[in-house]
Every structure is written in C-alpha cells, then in structure tokens.
Structure 1
Amino acid sequence: MKLERLISIIYKLLNHDVLSASMLAEEFHVSQRTIYRDIDVICAAGIPVVSYQGMKGGYGIMDGYKMDKSLLGSYDVSSLITVLHSLSTVFEDDRAQGTIDRLKTIGSEQDYASLSVNLDTNQTNPASLPLLRKAIAERNVIRFDYINAKNERSTREMEPLRLHYKYSNWYVYGYCLTRHDYREFRLSRMLDARATDRLFQPHEVTHKADSLNSAWTESVEDVVLLVHPSALSDAMDHFHHADKQFHPDGSMTMRIPIHRPLEARWLWSILLSFGSGAEVLEPTELRSILKEQLIESLKLYEEV
C-alpha cells in the first residue's frame, strides 16, 4: 500500500506545479507527518522534489525533470487518456485515474484529444457493469435471473471471465454452472445480478467463443430492404455496415447480413419501427413474420 501511495504521489507531483502536504494527506487518508516521510523517501530515490514556502507553498518536481516519452512509442497518448477516462466513468473505477495521471506525464503540452469516446449513457450501460467487473477480478461466482431470446426466465450461476462490448450492447462471457458449459449473456436481459461468496479457480483459455463465432458466420443470411427517403437516416443508423444502393427517386436498397433473421426478434423490432418508411424484399419468410406481427399489434387497438 505504501509503495502504491509513493508512486501515486510522484505522478501527481509531475502533473501539478505545487501540491500541499495537507492536500496529499487528505487524498490518501494519511497524516501530514506520513506525507513528510513519503517525500523524504521519494527524494532519497533520486526524484528531485522541491519544497516551496508561503501561503501557497507545498511540494513540486524540479522544472525540466521529464519522464521517458519513448515508453509508448508513437501512440497517441491523448487518445488513450480519453478512452481510459470514459471506461473509468463507466466502471466507476477510481484506480484508472492513476493510470491516466501516469499517461499525462509522458504527453506533450501541445497534445490535444483527437478522439472522443462516451460510453457513459444510462440508456446503454447496465447497472451491473461495475459488479461484474469486480466479480471477474476477484473470481466470485455470480448469480442472476436471465430472460433468453425465447422470453424464458431462468436462474443462473456463472463463473464470469470477461466483458464484451459489441453490437452496441454489453455481454458477459464465462462458465455457466447451471448449464455446465461456456455461455455469453447480454447484460440488458440480466435481473438481480449479485456476487456470491463462492470463489472459482482461474480458467484455461477456451476456444469456445471462436467456435460460436464460426457457427454465427455459417448461419448468416442477407436481408434486402427497400428504404424510402423518409427513413434513410434511421436505416443507416441501425445498419451502417450494410451494402447500399441509392436510386434516382431518393430511395435506397440495403443488403444486410443477419444471423438467423427469421429468429432475430431484435431485427423485427427495428424493421417495424420504420413504419411505412421501409419494406423487406427478401427473404419472403421474413415478410410474412412482420405481417403477422403487425396483425397481432392491431388486435390490441381494435376498440380505438
């Protein structure tokens, strides 16, 4: 703990002109006397700490003292800081700030952020994210209720291994103790997630995820969509990777590779949200499914 505090103090001094002992003591929850001893240790290690007297006095690093900027080669330090800051906010992880402080010491004063990342949106980030990340780090078995794609609810126990952010959603991958196999769960469908007191041993690297990706690729089918001018932006927001062909009347044909489109309820919802702004041309079976969905929806409003 003392070593971590010493390193943190060094980087804070590198990133600030002057810091008072009282400010450092308050931040690290120690006494000012402890900070004085820490400064002595840092000086003994060869770090040129300067003491400033007066009302705004404190400690600072001697001007001209620089860290080796070759540590990250040609990486864009500002971009790394931006990404780390966003992730630290998402996961409510104060420790990431220490990494950010260290990165700042090797950046140039002329650096500017060429990248902006904002993952901290209440609409997309489940509240269970910090809990799951902690469970992965501490190897705690987690327990939760899950609603699958068939709208079936079940209780699961899992040894979480890693978090994924893909397809604009968060997923957790690990060993499901309920099904005795590796599984991936979408966080938005998890309910009452909680960490148990039970610990699990580290897992060997599994290629299960690779085989799942292969199965996904083999079951992809193209969905052809005719998009009217009134729905162009919505369609492109949802399917920006699709092949697009624009027509003289302002409409657009999209060819979208979808994993099992006849079973993809998430896809049905998006297509129905376009209203009369888009029409499915292929596959014909999907046209029939959407028609049935519309008929069932109309039944809810027969009295209107």
Structure 2
Amino acid sequence: MEAPSPARGRRLPAGRKADLAAYVDEVGRVTVADLAAHFGVSIDTIRRDLDQLDREGVVVRTHGGAVSTAESPGRDRGLDVRLRMQVAEKEKIARIAAELVEDGSVIMLNAGTTTLAVARALRNHRNLTIATNNLRIPAEISPNAFRDLYVFGGAVRTLTQATTGPVSLALNSSTPDVDIRCDLALVAVGAVDETGYSTSNLGDATMMAEMVRRADRTAILADSTKLGRRLFAQVVPLEQADYLITDEQPSPEMSAALAAAGVEVLTP
C-alpha cells in the first residue's frame, strides 16, 4: 500500500473528516478497512470519525462501514440503515398522520420506517384495529393503543422485516379469507412523481396497491427526498390517494399535479 503523503499526515482531524464525508458521499457505500487504507489512518480512527459523522447526520453508520445519506433511493437498504435516515422528517410526518387516525377506527400500515414512526405516534390513541405487514410494529406500538392487531402472512423479507403476500386474513385453514376493509390506509412509498406513487419492489407495490383498494381513505407518506422521483414499480396513480403527507412543500410542478388529482398535501 502506498505510504500516506506528508501533507495527508499533517491534515487536521476536522479536515480529514470533511474529506471522509465527501468520499463516502461520492462512493455511496464503504467499509472501515477501505477508508483506513484510503486515508492512511488506523481503523480505530476511522471508526471514531464515522461515529461522529453519524451523530451529525452527515453519513449513516453501518456494521463495518458507512453509507451516504444521498445513496440512490432505488436501492434496498437494510432496516438498521433506514431507521437512521431522515429521522426528524419521519417523526414530523408521523405526527401529522396520527392526527388523521380516529380512536376506534380500523387502519392499515405497510412496511417501512416511516410507518413504524406512525405506530409510535399512536401511543395516545385507543381502541384501534390495526392490520399490517410490518413485522416491527407489534413490538413497537403501545399495547394501550389497539384493540386488535393483525399481521398479514406471506414471504418474510428479512432486509425490510416485513411480509409480502396477499392483503387477506383467514379465520382458520378450512374457511375462505375474510373480506376486510379499513377506514384509513397509511402507505409509505419510495417515490412520488406526476405519474403516481412507486417503490423498488414489485411484491411490495402489489401489496400496497391492495391496501389502497381496501381503504375508505388513503394517506401516502413520503419525505421530501422522495418527491420528484420514480422507481421500478408503480403502486397507484396520484388520484387514488386522498392525502400526501411530507415534511416540505412539493415543487410548484408537483403541487399542481397533486392538486389536479385531488390530493391534499399535509406538511408541518
């Protein structure tokens, strides 16, 4: 390995961390070992730098390395990474979403860290019936908030800690699935553009579209980094949602498309 240059060796830690952040942003996903070799410092030094940059929200610390906060939204990330991205924005969205939920109502929540934030924001609600494919919600939601909690079956995606399958529930193996409806579907998506709402996984898109079909009202949840983008699989067109909840006002073009589709935009 090439020895570190004298200039690099004299660089102040603050300057190195700025260079490190820029490098992670450029590469997207790196390991601690790669960074130590690139910057000519010890692994322990890189770990300390990454820990501080993670606390500052500049990069996202992962087991063995880091990823850029601007990494392509089309790439599936592990739940541990996504839980640490746009945290404040997701909490703002969750508080607004919780205001749409009435005590005693029936709601559906899809997989994702934004809907997990919504589940936590429902702690002061009571007597809810909740159906979800998010495997983290049963452990995260307050037991005082719900009367009944159902988890849809299907294939388990360990990366996202969710199930993918039909939006249906059966009383037992010998009876047909019960037709289910909900008052409100809270659906977190990966992207929103003038054509509609989309996500990166075909199975997820099918399941999310079914939740929308079974709901009297639908609120789409998407932080501002997802606006103006389009991913692989469309969930539903714009007009099939009643609300878009996001942390910032969309662009004028996006706002016009949403207004034309009859979608109410809710922001902090």
TM-score calculated relative to the size of structure 1: 0.24
Q: Which is bigger in relative contact order (C-alpha 8 A, separation at least 6)?
A: 2
Q: Which has the higher helix share?
A: 1
Question: Which of structures 1 and 2 has the bigger CA Rg?
Answer: 1
